[in-house]
Structure formats: structure tokens, C-alpha cells
Amino acid sequence: MNGLSPWALSASSELAESQTALYRTVAGSFEFKVYRTTDSIWILAELPNGGRAAFRAAFSPGGTLKIAKATEKAQGIDLELESETGKQRVEINIDQRQSNPVLRYTTHLKPKKDLLIPFWPKDILMNGKNGRPENTNGKIHISQEGTRTGLIYLTQTRPKSSSILYLQNLTALADYCEQTQTSCADTVGGIWPEIGFALPSTKDQPLKADKEIIINDAFVTFDAQTPEDQFAANQQFLNLLARVYLLLPRPETKYQDWPGILDKGLKDLIESPGCWSQVAGHKYFNAYVSDYTTPPEIMVQLAVLLPLMDYTEWSKAELEIIKTVKEGLPSFYDPKLGVITRWLPAAEDQLKGEEEQKQPGVMDSWYLHHPLINLSRLALKGDKVAEKLFLDSMDFTIKVAHHFNYHWPVFYKMDTLEVLKAETAEGKGGEKDVAGLYTHVMLQAWELTQENRYLKEAEKAAKTLQEYSFDIFYQANNTAFASGALLRLYKITKKQLYLELSYQCLAAILRNTQIWDCNYGYGKIFPKFFSLFPLNDAPYTAVYEEQEVFCALHDYLKHAEGLDILPSVKLLIAEYIRYLVDRAVYYYPPMLAKQMLQEKPKIGEVDPKLWIALEDLQDGWEKSGTVGQEVYGAGNAFGILPRHYMQVPGESFLIYVDYPTSGYKAIKGKDIHFSILGDKQLMCRLMIVKTSMAKLPVFKVVVKGDKTHLKGISVAKGHLEYQLNGNTQVNISWKH
């Protein structure tokens, strides 16, 4: 039996007695009815097998809600309401264009007087045929954490009826939050059967009288299927999220001058003394600007080196900085242990132990594997020093995996493997996605050597990931690398399990995104739509993890070419990438207002003029850069440029696409061909970007299967801009 609040008791009683619906419609297996009770407007969804879900679209606490006007329309009903609180307008729409119907209800409030809201009930009441919510049950697979997407994904299990994904468009709440100085954090959740969204409570900043604002904008999609296992739940979540995403109001993106941004960042990275330390005759990157107390870390060196190499391979430029970083890498190898170490051994005595992992000989589990992945990437490019460092570390890495039975703790001692911290939090387990990182490392070793033992190790580790479902996510980039490794393992072995596990990783990543734009407080200064959090409980988004996830998802789509993967995966990955390319520039302090930057960060210093990215962007009411200015996030621009700008031999222009692309072929003096990935239902931007003062030639841009030529629009700096659908093949030709 579920406990109920007085609001739920009153609502369930009135709903059970409601006879005359204001509106009703049937959509597949679902029937929707709109009722007025004393203080609320309810949308009652009749689910298969006797399930019910009631959605509160309007509420007037302690008063009577009167209908001033009701207007039926093709896909729903609009209501104008009056009460002691003020006037409300409710727009109810039911989209039936696909197999999963989507209910949307949007509520506007114009208060009669300045209004404080100390409490607001959740807007979903799960129910049964007999009108007794206390006798129902269900599984809440996902709900909002912090300022992530305001969603809740659930399955009703008693009665066994259906699954629902509810998403509150928190972007629409900006005026409410701005007036009341509240946050959208943790506004969607609850305990069965009272769940959903509740307005953040106000204390001393009221809503202004006679000013209309939106107080609810909910999207709800329904599926008659109840997932039988975690893999079915992963796929259902991805599909339902994509279904709602297509209907969401989404902000426009802008073209950002990444070539210019990269030049500024490269200059500051090379020339700023705050980015470097020197130990025993070698120069090393600091982790944070002006952090001279922490010894050099191998992860930091490689996290900047590999994107730099991506850029030089694309641009054919030569950078002395690459040689400088490479020269310092062998110093991280410990011949006694037979493995690379996190901290530079020559400077490890600088560690003061102010954090539990900042002690000599202590390893954070993912820190062992991440540098090995980057060393293996260097090795596969032909770097023999990196290959030796990588392969010489394999026996120790495998020994650790066997010791922990492929279940890595958070911290352990390198020499004894003594566990110093077993779990991220009590009952939460260790770093769960490290098994996926290890799978990636082993696949790289197998690719380098063709030794079968590495492939066997990859499979053993991968199979342990079945234990975690949506909870697999420890750190965003680890989980993203795991998703790609699992997809590769599926391609090698043809075992469906590994494809399902790759979806599991992607579902866990997407549950940790922010699919709304924080347009209140400092959030008015920079976009955050479709941003990603580095940890499952982090209060901010972070440049390093986002940049690495961005690159990993590009690789995922490349590995997926020719495979029959979920359309929802292609759609959501392409959209995450498109929005990152727009908003990642706002990690750089010169793009932000000085008053929103933290003056005294946790580590080092923040220089508002330096084109080195901040680690963190916060909720609109918090200052950003609280952790520091992140040198190891410098890969941001160097990762974006080679993946989104195509060089045209012998010409003074670049081709830019904000979606991921593949199959680029350029014929000098003739034309170029490539495919745009993603989904045809959504649009992306293609730009002809001028790189000199010369006049652009006349272009012919054609999409395969469409005989008409696309027309470009001349934009700032003489560039040309085109809008295209995703999942298309493009041909561009030109004449001077």
C-alpha cells in the first residue's frame, strides 16, 4: 500500500466521481479525457490493462477553479480559467502522428496579486481502474538529478499496463525562475504514485501581479510495451526520448568561428606560463592554469596531446609543442611496477594529501586506463615509444583487472592493490564504467598485436557490465568510450549482447544531459541546451568530459556505418554534437561576462582574458569556473575543427557542417562528396567558410535524390550558409 498526501487523496476521490469529460479522444491503445475538479484541471490517460495516469494541467490551491472558455481543436482543447489566484490558460494537445502518442499541456498563469508559492503538488498521480492510487505500483527507471533534463521514465507494473516518459520543458520556466530567483534543479521526481513536476518553492521573491508566465510545459509519451529486461528498457528510453525530442521547442544555434578560436587557444596554451611546469629538464602541462602545487599527470599530457595531433593531421601544420609533450611521456613509466603511473614519479613527493587520491602511489581506477587508451592511439599511428609504454603496461593492467574481478574500486594502492575507497557512495559500488574502459584498452592491444588473450579479456570485462543498467555511468567520457568499445566488440564477435550494452552506455549518457536552456540568472549569458554532466551527481557541466564524449560519439557513428542501429541513437547523437559545436565556445572566459566568473577558484586561478576553457559551467544562479581554468580541457577546439571542417585542396574556402559527416572525397578543381549523418527529420547547417579575401566561386550544392539545387544565404564575413536534412548525401561543385 502506498502512502498518499492530502492532495492526492482529495484528487483521487474527486476523479473517481467525475462523470462528464470536457474533452476526450482515443490514440491507439490509449484514451485521454479532460476533467475539472474543484481546484484542478486533470488529463486522465486510460492505459492498457486497467492502468491510469492523471496529469494535473492547472491548480488553484485552496480555491475553486472556474472555466471561462473552452475551445476544442483538431488535436486537443484550450481552456481559459479563473480563480482567486488569478487567470490561467491551459493548452492541451495530443500528437498522434506516430505509434507512441505524445500529450503536451502548457499552463500560463497571470496572478491577481504578487504571489508567493511556498508549496506546489506534483503534477502526476498514477492510478488504477478502481481509482485507488494506493493499490498501484510501478518502477521509476530514471528521474531528474540536479539540473539535468526534467524527465521521469517509468513503467506501471500493478496493473501491468504501459511505460511513460514525461519531460518537463524547463526552458519555458525561465521567467518564473528569474522573478522568484529559484532554480529548476530537482523539480521533476517524486515517490510513487505522486510524481512529476512541482514548481520550485518561493520564499521572499514573489511572482508579479498581472504578468503572465508559463508555470508548466509538459511532454508525455506513452508505450503499451512494458520492458521485460534492462536492455528493452534502454531501447525504450532512447526511442521515447527521441520521440519527445522531435516535438520540443529547441533553441537556434549559431555558427562559431572555430578556426579563429583555435588560433587564440593555441597561442595561449603555448605562451601562457600558467599552463606549464618544468621538472627535471622536461616541460609538462599543468592540470589547471597556475596550479604549481600538483605534480604533472600523464592523463593531462595525453588529453591535450591527442587532440593537438588530430589538428596537425588535418592542417598539416607542425607544432613544436607536440614534440615537447612526447619527450616527457617515458618519465611516467615505473619499471619496478611495470606500468605507467598517474603522477610523475620525479615530482610525486609534492603531493600533500589534501584529497584522498593526492597521495604517492595512489591510483584512481579510471586514471590507469584512460592514458593507456591514448598511448594505444599513438601506437596505432606508428609511435614506437608510445607502443612500448603501452604494451609494457599490459601485464600489470590485466593483473589489476583479475585482482578486482573486473569490478574496480574508486582508489587503490599501486604497489599492494589495497583498496582505499571501494565505493563512490555507500551502496553505489565502485567505478562501474571502468570495465568498459578496460574493454577499450584490450581491444586496442588486440588491434596492435592480434594476440587473442586481449580479445578474451575484452569480452570478460564487457560481460560484467550487464549488472548495471542505467547505473553504469560513473564518468561521462569513460561511459562514452565504453559505448564505442562495445560496438566494436559486437562487430568483431557478432554477439548481440555487446550491441545491447553499447545502447546501455548511450542511455546512461543521455540521462545525464540537460535538454533545456537555463535562461535565468547568469544563464542568460550563455547557452546550455543539450549539455552533458561529467559525473552522475555533478552540479555542473565540464569541458574536458564534454569534449571527449563529443569525439567518442563521432567515433561511435563511424563504427556504426553499415550497421542496423536504432534510428533514435543516430538522431540524439547528431543533435548532441550539433549543440556542442555551438555552445562549447562559452567554456572560454573571454566569451563570458566577467561578473559571472569565480574570482577564487578551488585550483589555480581564472584569467578572464585567457583562451583556456573553464572546467565548469554552473546553474544560472552560480558563478562558473569554481574549480579552475582547465588546461587538460584545451582539446576542445582541437577536437572540433578536424571533425567539422573539410579542407578543399587548392581552394581558399572550407566546408563546415555542424552535424557529423563521413565519406568525404575531394577532387581538385571539380567537386566534393560526403554524407551527413543523423536523421532526416531534423535540419543541420552547412557553411562555405572563406579563408582569404578572394571572392568565393559560384557553388552548386545538391542532395542526392533531389534534383533542385540548394540556395545559400550570404552571411557575416562573406560566408555562405545552407540548411540541409540529416542522413543525406551531398555533392558540392563550383566554378570560378
Q: Give the pLDDT confidence of 29-83 residue by residue, as tens digits.
A: 999 999 999 999 999 999 999 999 999 999 999 889 999 999 999 999 999 999 9
Whether the bond into 159 is cis, omega within 30 of 0: yes
pLDDT for residue 19: 83
pTM for this prediction: 0.97
384-392 and 365-380 are packed helices; what angle lies between their axes, rounded to 10 degrees?
140
635-644 and 258-271 are packed helices; what angle lies between their axes, rounded to 10 degrees?
150
pLDDT for residue 491: 98
Phi and psi for 92 in degrees, rounded to 5?
A: -115, 125
Secondary structure of 464-513 as H, E, C letters:
HHHHCHHHHCCEHHHHHHHHHHHHHHHHHHCCHHHHHHHHHHHHHHHHCE
Helix (H) or strand (E) holding 447: helix 434-449
Residue type, 530: F
DSSP assigned state of 226: -
Residue type, 718: G
Which of 633, 610, 554, 502 minimizes the C-alpha distance to 235?
Answer: 502
Degrees (nearest 5) of the Cα angle 391, 395, 400? 130
CB count within 10 Å of CB 11 equals 25
Residue 481: CB partners within 8 Å, gap ≥ 6? 373, 436, 437, 440, 548, 552
Contact 45, 102 (CB under 8 A): no
pLDDT for residue 357: 84
Q: In a 10 Å sphere around its CB, with 0-12 CB exposed, 13-18 middle and 19+ buried, how is residue 93 labelled?
A: middle
Residue that the C-alpha cell 560484467 belongs to:
464
pLDDT for residue 238: 98
pLDDT for residue 354: 81
pLDDT for residue 59: 97
Q: What is the pLDDT of residues 127-186, one digit of tens each?
A: 987 778 988 999 999 999 999 999 999 999 999 999 999 999 999 999 999 999 999 999
Residues of the chain below pLDDT 70? none
CA 675 – CA 660 distance, rounded (Å): 9
CB count within 10 Å of CB 723 equals 12
pLDDT for residue 245: 98
CA 364 – CA 346 distance, rounded (Å): 19
